[in-house]
């Protein structure tokens, strides 16, 4: 599965189940360019709306940088996200409380 396919599937999941991101607020940028992926963003607001798209997001609350292959292992349940962070496979920059909300967003 490519990063684009995953983000499209995530958008569909959010459309089908708005509780998947209930209570999440903030903006996130994901940079997977190290291994041929793209840059993606997600933004969630208090009113329950969200946006997912390809490309950068100015002033994202959280920026995530990693190989797409590592993130795919995390979302598929084959790599513990905490271990991936400790090993430096996934790097975060920005708001740690909002970064912790990613587990709910990513479904891990």
What confidence tens digit (pLDDT) does each residue in 41-86 have? Answer: 999 988 778 899 999 988 999 999 999 999 999 989 999 988 999 9
As beta bridge partners, residue 93 has 63
Query: What Å distances lie between residue 52 and 16, 77, 78, 108, CA to CA?
Result: 15, 22, 24, 18
Check whether 108 has a pLDDT greater than 70.
Answer: no
Count of domains observed in the chain: 1
Structural domain including 18 reads: 3-106
Rounded to two decimals, the pTM is: 0.86
CATH number of the domain that residue 39 is part of? 3.30.1050.10
Q: Look at the block and give the residue holding tokens 């905490």.
A: 82
Nearest to 53 by CA among 88, 10, 91: 10
Alpha helices for 2-80 (secondary structure H): 3-16, 68-75
């Amino acid at each position: 599965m490519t990063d684009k396919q995953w983000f499209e599937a995530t958008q569909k999941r959010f459309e089908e189940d708005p509780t998947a991101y209930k209570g999440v607020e903030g903006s996130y940028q994901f940079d997977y360019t190290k291994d041929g992926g793209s840059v993606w963003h997600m933004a969630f607001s208090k009113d329950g709306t969200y946006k997912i798209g390809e490309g950068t997001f100015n002033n994202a609350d959280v920026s995530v940088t990693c190989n797409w292959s590592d993130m795919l292992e995390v979302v598929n349940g084959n790599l513990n996200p905490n271990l991936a962070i400790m090993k430096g496979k996934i790097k975060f920059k920005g708001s740690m409380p909002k970064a912790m909300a990613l587990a709910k967003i990513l479904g891990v």
